[in-house]
Structure 1
Amino acid sequence: MKNRLTVCASHLITLPSAPFGPVREAIASARDAVASFDPELVVFFGTDHRRAFRAVVPTFAVVLSATAQGDVAGPVGTYDVPSSLGRALVADLVEGEFDIATAYSAALDHAFGHTTRDLLGSISAKPVLPVFVNCASPPHATFRRAASLGRRVGEFFADRRVLYVGSGGLAHDLPGFREPETGVVLSEEERQEWIRSVNARARAEGSVRELVRSWDESFLAGIGGTSWEWLDSIGVDLVERGGNGAAECLTWTAAWAAGGQPLRTLAHEFDTGGRAVVMS
């Protein structure tokens, strides 16, 4: 039996307000596949919506201890993080010339929490090693660099039975992330009020982006193979083609490269933005 499985999914799929369509059905199928695979370790490539990483925003970070913030109806509690493995991974990445940050403790938001719960049942069901990928506060890594990081992580865990997860994307635009990060820490109530005001202003100004599904299709075709040729073109004019939220697919790219296998699309939906579930 193969010793690695990769699942990538949009987050917020199972919110009560989320559509009951193919993507929601696909996350249930992915959850069944994960249960059958029964990983000894989950390496989760996730991002953050300017909640956990604000005063300092690393490009990549390995998290050694993590709790869940519970935002956007997400789970609360403590992740079972194998900190000794995390420290060893950091040392290996530094040896591989990656400038990786060590997050000794982080309160992770729904970018990690929802998908962990959707796939595992709870955030503490399995040992989870969170690998943070900055997608919300430019400048962020290139898609090729995210793939390089993922490949190195996959090599490090080659002798373990690992589930690789990427969460975020696909094409969508978040008006609040057009503004530079200030480092100011907000309460969740303050943050939600700020999001409402920014979105309302974007609608009033007519600056809500109209996205098309072609970026999604190009990205899904890329991770559907093993070639790396597409990595240089997928990030060109990213905001114009996929919206600033499409940068969240850096997490999918890292997970794809870590698993080292083509990913098949279980479901893809697109209206004003894209959402999908893929797995190896």
Structure 2
Amino acid sequence: MKGSDLPAALVGLSHSPLIGRNDPAPDVLAAVDAATADVRSFVERFAPDLVVLYAPDHYNGFFYKDMPPFCLGTAASAVGDFGSASGELSVDGDAASAIASGVLDRGVDLTISARMTVDHGFAQPLEVLFGGIDRVPVVPLFINSVARPLGPVARIRSLGTAVGLAAAELDRRVLFVGSGGLSHDPPVPVLRGAPPRVAAALIDGHHPTPEQRARGEARVVQAGREYAAGQTGMVPINPAWDNLVLDTFERGVLQDVDGWTVDWMGAEGGGSGHEVRTWIAAYASLAATGPYAVTSRFYRPIPEWIAGFAITTALPT
């Protein structure tokens, strides 16, 4: 498939800031490593000319002062949280602008950022799949997955479809990547009822000092340890829901997601289960090019990473 004539491909990839910091048992880690090696081989064989990367943010780049439901970046830089890479992403500005115009032409409202700030949700999949954040031309698309109010999932599917149609006009081999999920309920701050200092940071985007970031990351690591030990009130990983989500993608019945309500997704998948919106957008983009088949599917519930962890690949049929 190297240099393939296939126009598009897809990778769905969970991320976690706890990878390498609070790892599961060796056999689980070995299974993840094997699945990761397989997906790298898949990407290498496909040899994309362009990556369209859908990912969330964790109050590192987007804040309540201006919180779009989704946003396309014509330039982007990563903050380097949780040991992920920092610096400029190799954004293809021309492709990003063309896709943005194509999405708007298709009647989907879209926010544009010429100076997008991203975190590990974007950096980690680029590092896993390509070995760095500047190795492949990319179009970054932020999908709000934590900051309520959240819009209907049908709008995410519409966005993904419009992006897929616009990308198909570029005459490039495009890899669509959905980064995040599946079920997980990490300690993400909530604006309603937050203390004034926390609320101000969520609204205005007060970036932490290195010392404050280190303390915050240490709290997340500790939360992972408590979660794995069953010493927390966070919503548990839900393998049944995770596999329902994966089954929906594998069966190609993406229209089913239009009936998924915000409250149902949160109750079943946890506070950050809405990160599956990035997968929905990616699969809708691939489906816009025609029928597809899921070519690999890996899933493990990994409490140490506070995640229902999954990796999938798909190709047009």
Bigger drift between 102-111 and 266-275 goes to 266-275
Matched residues in 1 for 2:154 and 2:30: separation?
Answer: 32
CA apart distance, 1:271: 4.3
Asked if structure 1 preserves the Cα contact closer than 8 Å seen for 2:60 and 2:205, the reply is: no
1:188-267 aligned within 5 A: 189-194=211-216, 207-235=233-261, 236-260=263-287, 261-267=292-298
In structure 2, what is the equivalent of residue 49 of structure 1? 58
Q: How far apart in 1 are the matches of 2:249 and 2:211?
A: 37
Looking at structure 1, the residues matched to 91 and 236 of structure 2 have their Cα atoms a distance apart, in angstroms, of: 40
What TM-score does the superposition give when structure 1 sets the normalisation length?
0.90
Q: Whole-Å Cα distance in 2 between the matches of residues 36 and 63 of structure 1?
A: 27
State the Cα deviation string for residues 40-73 of structure 1 (Å, max 9, x = none). 1111011111101123221111101112211111
* Match status 1:5 vs 2:36: no
> If the length of structure 2 is used for normalisation, what is the TM-score?
0.80
- Per-residue CA distance 1:109-136 (angstroms, 9 max, x = gap): 0000011110011111110110111112
| Count of equivalent residues | 278
Q: How far is the alpha carbon of 1:186 from its aligned partner?
A: 3.0
Structure 2 residue runs of 5 or longer lacking an equivalent are: 193-201
- What per-residue deviation string (whole Å, max 9, x for no partner) do you get for residues 122-177 of structure 1? 11111011011111211223222111111111111113210110100000002324
Larger CA deviation: 33-42 vs 183-192: 183-192
Q: Match for 1:11: what amino acid?
A: H
Measure the CA separation in 1 of the matches of 2:47 and 2:238: 37
Larger mean CA deviation between 105-114 and 210-219 belongs to 210-219
Letter of the structure 2 residue corresponding to residue 85 of structure 1: A
AA at the equivalent of 2:105 = E
Contiguous gaps of at least 5 residues in structure 1:
none
Q: Tell me by how many angstroms 1:264 deviates.
A: 4.5
Deviates more, 1:139-148 or 1:162-171: 139-148
- Indicate yes or no: 2:206 matched with 1:185: yes
Cα distance in 2 for partners of 1:81, 1:206 equals 40
- State the one-letter code of the partner of 2:50: L
Residue matched to 1:170 = 182
> Which of the numbers 17, 34, 57 marks the counterpart of 2:43?
34
Residue 147 of structure 1 corresponds to 157
State whether structure 2 residue 113 is matched by structure 1 residue 103. yes
Q: Deviations over 1:191-235 (max 9, x none)?
A: 4535666987x98x9632234311101100111122234203444
Greater shift after overlay, 149-158 or 230-239? 230-239
Question: Aligned AA for 1:172?
Answer: H
Residue in 1 aligned with 2:128?
Answer: 118
Contact 2:180 2:278 in 1 (8 A): yes
Confirm or deny: 8 A CA contact 2:164 2:286 kept in the other structure. Answer: yes
Residue of structure 1 equivalent to 2:195: none
| Percent identity of paired positions between Structure 1 and Structure 2 | 28
Q: Which amino acid aligns with 2:49?
A: E
Report the 3-state secondary structure (helix = DSSP H, G, I; strand = E; otherwise coil) of the residue aligned with 1:166.
strand
The verdict on how the C-alpha distance between 1:265 and 1:35 changes in structure 2, with shifts beyond 3 A counting, is closer
Identify the residue that residue 85 of structure 2 maps to in structure 1: 75
**Deviation at residue 102 of structure 1 after TM alignment:** 0.7
Bigger radius of gyration: 2
Letter in 1 for 2:182: L
Picking from 116, 132, 138, the partner of 2:142 is: 132
Higher deviation after alignment, 98-107 or 110-119: 98-107
Q: Is the 8 A contact 1:164 1:255 kept in 2?
A: yes
Partner of 1:89: 99
1:75 positional shift: 1.1
Listed one character per residue, the Cα deviations across residues 242-266 of structure 1 (whole Å, up to 9, x for unaligned) are 1011101100110011111243553
Distance 1:242 1:210 in 2: 8
Q: Partners in 1 of 2:18 and 2:238 — Cα distance?
A: 24
Is the CA contact (8 Å cut-off) linking 1:13 and 1:23 kept in structure 2?
no
